[in-house]
Amino acid sequence: MSVEAQQANVARSPSIAGVVRDAWAGSLPERYAEPRTSVPFARAVRAQLRPGQRILDVGSGSLPFLAPEDLPEGAHYAGTDISGDELAKAPEGWYHASYVSDVTRRSDELVGSYDLVISNQVLEHVKPLDAAMENMRAYLAPGGTMVAKFSGTFSIFGLINRMVPHKLAVWGLHRFLGYDPEHIFPAHYDHCWDSALRRMLAPWSEVRIDPLYMGAEYLSFVRPLQGLYVGAEEIWARRDVRNLAAYYIVTAKR
């Protein structure tokens, strides 16, 4: 965007106080028009789908990201997860193959076997993240692509999650946000911020990191607090302070 266009945008934007007031009254900024972060992720994944691809969904467990009708013609879709129990809960027949595998440990049978590796809300749960990234790169065939979405270390939930014991986090997420405890897993948020990711992804041939400044959902049960949070988030969204993004979508070529 040109400098003039950016200045015009800023001139049109409401003041930060206005953003806080609106959020307090229940109206979130434009970037929340589609509040589910799975939507931009689905868009990023769809852009990479090709007929006949071999696709690996890392940490897909009970919830494969791609339904059979989403798969391109002739695609092979495999799921992996550290938990065999999670994989067993997936809808029958959605995976063509599944593997119990910890993404931080190299599984030789997966090396060089996939054209596309996808991963939704898994990488904040793994440590060390650099080992996981290297393994996902190894699982790609030459020219292959990874698309991954995960939460940021400095997101409000990332910070709270690391301050409180896991059991308390599960209780809070269930009590206040109605999350199913079965779908809440311990998280590490290991190096999940833009500059750390860029260092980690240096061996990849192409890297695109899209920050999502969309962490307000977790405070929806206390509107005034959510308003204040959205005001702060608005500042770093306008200044594109990427290390503070609530989520990242990483698209990288092997």
Ligand X SMILES: C[S@@+](CC[C@H](N)C(=O)[O-])C[C@H]1O[C@@H](n2cnc3c(N)ncnc32)[C@H](O)[C@@H]1O
The residues binding ligand X (CB under 6 A) are 59-61, 63, 65, 81-83, 86, 102-104, 120-122, 125-126, 185
Indicate the residue among 37 and 234 with the shorter CB distance to ligand X: 37
Beta bridge partners of 149: 120, 249
How is residue 188 written in tokens?
Answer: 């590490």
Indicate the residue among 123 and 252 with the shorter CB distance to ligand X: 123
For residues 97-110, one letter each, b for 16 or more C-beta atoms within 10 angstroms of the residue's C-beta and e for the rest, the string is ebbebbbbeebeeb
Contacts of 139 (CB under 8 A, 6+ apart): 56, 107, 110, 111, 112, 113, 114, 117
CB of 103 to ligand X, least distance (A): 4
CB of 185 to ligand X, least distance (A): 5
Residue nearest to ligand X (CB): 61
CB of 180 to ligand X, least distance (A): 11
Q: Check if the beta carbon of residue 94 is closer than 8 Å to that of residue 110.
A: no
Distance CA(62)–CA(193), nearest Å, equals: 27
Indicate the residue among 167 and 223 with the shorter CB distance to ligand X: 167
CB of 183 to ligand X, least distance (A): 6
Indicate the residue among 23 and 136 with the shorter CB distance to ligand X: 136
CB of 193 to ligand X, least distance (A): 19
Indicate the residue among 42 and 241 with the shorter CB distance to ligand X: 42
Indicate the residue among 44 and 126 with the shorter CB distance to ligand X: 126
CB of 83 to ligand X, least distance (A): 4
